[in-house]
Amino acid sequence: MSADPSTAEEIMAGVHHALREYGYADLTMQDIADACSKSKSLLHYHYDTKEDLLVAFLDHLITTFERCVEAGRDRPATERLVEFIAWFGFDPDETDREHFHIALLELRSQGPFNDRIRSRLQRSDRVFRDTVAEIIEQGIEEGVFEPVDVTETAALLVATLDGARTRQITLGELDVDGDTYTRTVARTLIDRVVDPILVDGVELPDVSSVEVLLPRDEPVAVPAVDDSPSTGDDR
Amino acid sequence: MSADPSTAEEIMAGVHHALREYGYADLTMQDIADACSKSKSLLHYHYDTKEDLLVAFLDHLITTFERCVEAGRDRPATERLVEFIAWFGFDPDETDREHFHIALLELRSQGPFNDRIRSRLQRSDRVFRDTVAEIIEQGIEEGVFEPVDVTETAALLVATLDGARTRQITLGELDVDGDTYTRTVARTLIDRVVDPILVDGVELPDVSSVEVLLPRDEPVAVPAVDDSPSTGDDR
Amino acid sequence: MSADPSTAEEIMAGVHHALREYGYADLTMQDIADACSKSKSLLHYHYDTKEDLLVAFLDHLITTFERCVEAGRDRPATERLVEFIAWFGFDPDETDREHFHIALLELRSQGPFNDRIRSRLQRSDRVFRDTVAEIIEQGIEEGVFEPVDVTETAALLVATLDGARTRQITLGELDVDGDTYTRTVARTLIDRVVDPILVDGVELPDVSSVEVLLPRDEPVAVPAVDDSPSTGDDR
Amino acid sequence: MSADPSTAEEIMAGVHHALREYGYADLTMQDIADACSKSKSLLHYHYDTKEDLLVAFLDHLITTFERCVEAGRDRPATERLVEFIAWFGFDPDETDREHFHIALLELRSQGPFNDRIRSRLQRSDRVFRDTVAEIIEQGIEEGVFEPVDVTETAALLVATLDGARTRQITLGELDVDGDTYTRTVARTLIDRVVDPILVDGVELPDVSSVEVLLPRDEPVAVPAVDDSPSTGDDR
DNA sequence: TATGAATGAGCATTCATTCAT
DNA sequence: TATGAATGAATGCTCATTCAT
């Protein structure tokens, strides 16, 4: 890896920033270089190809997410579930986050064409569904959720939230019943899917009272991720 | 419109074919020209810019969908709903359809950057949700569905099915519990969301018994769509 | 020639109009077609190539000029000379004329590359210099001009006026001593070159009192010029 | 500016060479690239657009001229004036120079359409007329020229020489009285305009005895012109 | 005569990548 | 490590010209 660990971080932050600004389709190496005040050549010194760089960025992203999930593991299941659901939506003023997810959607749409990207998406999907499954499992053990099929339930929740976010992003600030697409769907999802599996008497905490530990996608300096550049080995 | 209506159709079919083959990001005017055995110049003769052409294609797509929805309006609500849900999924062998939806996802991911594309996506979203809402409304009137909030329900169903398809597409033929992502989610969606709103005693028809009228995305010759070339006016 | 004589005239007027609007370098067959409300194909029916069309236009232009010169031949030499000098300049509000001469300059700059254009420019040069030479000759015979070398004098006058106009056109409405480039030069030309060859006691008439018969380059309907299209013979 | 000063010079020389060979209207970036044995991409690396490159070339040209004028300032006015007049003409064998001025005329004809080109033409006009004005002023001070209006005289001389050259170029090697157009006009110009303002007893030196310091338009390596690539600032 | 449809050749520009330092 | 210089491949678009009717 880079002798200077901060260089790798600066580059990752640069990718993040450039993705937010230009989107994936319009993203050039020059954009990234500008965003981290480095030269194109240096990016190629650390990552042989543009693809290598983006794959490293995806790894970085997933790792960050995993770390955050880990950090919240000691909280009650209901709280964690609400956090997860809430995490998917944006407030209309979080344009940075929205721009980033737009870029991410573009990147995801390249999955079918790119094995390496796809493998990261799969890992990310695994992490997402496992996280939700684990939360539900935990809830069942805690006696707050009915004993449902956790795998199916996790798949449903993730698909729904993802679909809502995708639609909200691609359609713009479209209102559905006077609220955001994602929020409308999230609310309905809770009413129709989550509430029915709550054990009688159990209530979900209010969204506003739940601390969100999952990454808000800020270009925070991350504690040093080892993604050795240009080693070339890939799955 | 073109004097020869078949030219416009040939071009639309060419776009369809080329999107399936190359995806949206890699799609060139040459690809489209090749796909319909015409010259690049001719494409530019009919559609000033590449964007114009793709926007026209989206219009064509939505119009086709609307026509098919119209055609199935006389069937029972349960049947129509099952058809709609089934329509979202692919069999593993329908690679053509899958490839097309991959391209569509890429195109959708450009919505945030392109007003004209976005306006088509919004129209399409409207059509989708209105269709489902109308089906549920019809079901309530027929006495087969409980009187639920149709707008919310429609939003939930569409988001979930879209999310499942998006994930299935981007992640590849990933199995969830031994089935397709979309099918697993569709099944769970029916169990957890649709079944609970069925009036007691009513049962959904089996998927395999429902005739699917919605467009299978084949480049079928469509009965004449008016997309006057190069008029340039937009919204 | 065209069965309908007005068609040829409409096309010539179209070229004129289009040249004024787009200049020569940016002139497309479509521009000309639009300017005369005809189709590109029709232009090609009458004139095989774009070059043919422009060459015909130059012929048309020169012929018109000759006709106007002819019409003024019965006036006194001093009057004719002042008219000629005045004819070269524009008022700042004659933007149409200026735009046309801009296009003409562009066209002239193609002379070195195009034999057929060059031959028309040469003919036009001949007509110009001969006209001035004839005026001076006439003046000598009338006893108003000293017996100077008419060829040299004509060459000097034409070069100077042309140079002034070229500079005025290319440099924009640049002021020289509070007046137009062309007018400043024309005045100095009269002071330094014309006045000295006037016989003692003779005075030039005032510019404003001289009727300008030379063509103001308006797209006037011309009495029918025979420029048989597409005959292919040249020079 | 380029780290290697020779690169900028090579490109300028390439533009010069390509202009001479293809003219302005037919000039492509590929032509220029070929002419300096570089890649099109490199041209775009140094100059964002074709226009940028040509504007830089015009700047380069004017700067070179100014430098040469500067270098000849210590000579007598009559000598400098004769040099200036002689400088405008070509010998029939100087086809390179002629070709270059043809291209220049094409470029000038774009002035009305292009602010940046026009501003360079204006600067060049200023330099030309100021140079002649300064020479005449100097001559008046030296007591060899009568005290005439220097501005008017300079405008007249420049317009006449420019007009003669333009006509010679556009009309081809057309003879006027057995001599070049420019030479005929230059001779007459001296007879009718310059001689009359000479103080009695003063004579102009013979053209052949005057050393011409003004640039012969050869692609001579110029002592380092600063045209920082792609800075984008203009005027 | 007159037109709409269709084509091929050409061109400026972009961008990931490489090279020399 | 880090950079500026340089390149090849690719792409959307323009336009004169031709063809079928």
Kindly report, residue by residue over B176-216, the tens digit of the pLDDT: 778 899 999 999 999 999 999 999 999 999 988 888 889 88
Q: Which 8-state DSSP code applies to residue C229?
A: T
Best of A109, A121, A122, A191 to disrupt the B interface (most B CBs within 10 Å) is A109
Which residues of chain B does A176 touch, with a Cβ-Cβ cutoff of 8 Å?
Answer: 151, 155
Please provide the DSSP assignment of B152-214 as one string: HHHHHHHHHHHHHHHHHHHH-S-EETTEEHHHHHHHHHIIIIIGGGBPTT--PPPGGGS---S
Q: Which fold has domain B74-209?
A: Tetracycline Repressor; domain 2 (1.10.357)
pLDDT at C176: 77
Q: Which nucleotide is nearest to D31 (CA to C1')?
A: E11
Please provide the DSSP assignment of D135-152 as one string: HHHHHHHHTSB----HHH
User: Which region among A91-95, C129-133, C197-201 has the lowest average model confidence (pLDDT)?
Assistant: A91-95
Q: Which fold has domain D60-207?
A: Tetracycline Repressor; domain 2 (1.10.357)
3 state SS of B119: helix
> Could you give the angle at which helices A150-171 and A95-108 cross, rounded to 10 degrees?
110
The answer on pLDDT for A234 being more than 80 is no
Tell me the C-alpha to C-alpha distance, in Å, between residue A150 and each of A136, A137, B126, C71, C160.
6, 7, 33, 101, 94
The answer on pLDDT for C105 being more than 80 is yes
Percent share of chain A, pLDDT over 90: 77
Give per-residue pLDDT as tens, D87-104.
988 888 888 999 999 999
Mean pLDDT of chain A: 90
Q: Which nucleotides of E are covered by protein (CB under 7 A)?
A: 1-20
pLDDT at A91: 84
CB contact under 8 A, D109 and C25: yes
Please state the φ and ψ torsions of residue C179, each to the nearest 5 degrees.
-135, 170
Contact A187, A74 (CB under 8 A): no
Confidence of residue C221 (pLDDT cuts 50, 70, 90): very low
Q: Which fold has domain C74-204?
A: Tetracycline Repressor; domain 2 (1.10.357)
Tokens of B92: 């593993």
Distance from CA of A5 to the nearest CA of B (A): 32
Confidence of residue B78 (pLDDT cuts 50, 70, 90): very high
Provide the CA C129 distance to its chain's centre, in angstroms.
12
Which residues of chain B does A159 touch, with a Cβ-Cβ cutoff of 8 Å?
Answer: 160, 163-164, 167, 181, 185
More confident residue, D54 or B178: D54
pLDDT at B61: 95
pLDDT at B2: 43
Q: Mean pLDDT throughout D128-138?
A: 97
pLDDT at D162: 97
The answer on pLDDT for B1 being more than 80 is no
- Considering the four listed CATH numbers 3.40.50.10890, 3.40.640.10, 3.30.420.40, 1.10.357.10, the one that applies to the domain covering A74-208 is 1.10.357.10
Distance in angstroms: CA A31, C1' F3? 16
Give per-residue pLDDT as tens, A172-218.
877 777 889 999 999 999 999 999 999 999 999 998 899 888 988 76
Mean pLDDT of chain D: 89
Q: Which nucleotides of F are covered by protein (CB under 7 A)?
A: 1-20
Nearest to C156 among D99, D162, D192 (CB): D192
Give per-residue pLDDT as tens, B102-154.
999 999 999 999 999 999 999 999 999 999 999 999 999 999 999 999 999 99
Give per-residue pLDDT as tens, C55-68.
999 999 999 999 99
Tell me the C-alpha to C-alpha distance, in Å, between residue D52 and each of D20, D41, D45.
19, 14, 11
Which residues of chain D does C106 touch, with a Cβ-Cβ cutoff of 8 Å?
Answer: 106, 109-110
**Where do the domains of chain B lie?**
74-209
Distance in angstroms: CA A113, C1' E6? 34
Using CA atoms, how far apart are residues A204 and C104, in angstroms rounded to an integer? 81
The answer on pLDDT for C96 being more than 70 is yes
pLDDT at D4: 57
The answer on pLDDT for D209 being more than 80 is yes
Please report, in angstroms and rounded to a whole number, the separation of the first and last CA atoms in chain C.
18
pLDDT at B64: 93
Q: Which nucleotide is nearest to A41 (CA to C1')?
A: F3
Best of C167, C177, C198 to disrupt the D interface (most D CBs within 10 Å) is C167
Using CA atoms, how far apart are residues A194 and A203, in angstroms rounded to an integer? 10
Task: For nucleotide F14, give the residue with the nearest CA to its C1'.
Answer: B41
User: Which region among A48-52, B32-36, B205-209, D175-179 has the lowest average model confidence (pLDDT)?
Assistant: D175-179
pLDDT at B5: 64
Task: For nucleotide F18, give the residue with the nearest CA to its C1'.
Answer: C41
Q: Which 8-state DSSP code applies to residue D1?
A: -
- Considering the four listed CATH numbers 3.40.50.450, 1.40.20.10, 3.20.20.370, 1.10.10.60, the one that applies to the domain covering D1-46 is 1.10.10.60
Give per-residue pLDDT as tens, A127-180.
999 999 999 999 999 999 999 999 999 999 999 999 999 999 999 877 777 889
Q: Which residues pair with D124 in a beta bridge?
A: none
CA angle, corner C109, sides to C106 and C111, nearest 5? 125
Q: Mean pLDDT throughout A108-124?
A: 96
Confidence of residue B233 (pLDDT cuts 50, 70, 90): very low
Nearest to B109 among A105, A149, A176 (CB): A105
Distance in angstroms: CA B212, C1' F8? 50
Interface partners of D (3+ CB pairs, < 8 Å)?
C
Instruction: Map tokens 């070269």 to a residue.
Output: C88
Distance in angstroms: CA C110, C1' E7? 28
Tokens of D208: 């052949």
The answer on pLDDT for C43 being more than 60 is yes
Nearest CA in chain C to D157: C160
The answer on pLDDT for A225 being more than 50 is no
Q: Mean pLDDT throughout D20-29?
A: 96
The answer on pLDDT for D51 being more than 80 is yes
Nearest CA in chain A to B130: A176
Using CA atoms, how far apart are residues D38 and D12, in angstroms rounded to an integer? 12
The answer, yes or no, to whether D and C have at least 3 beta-carbon pairs within 8 Å is yes
Distance in angstroms: CA D234, C1' E19? 32
pLDDT at D5: 64
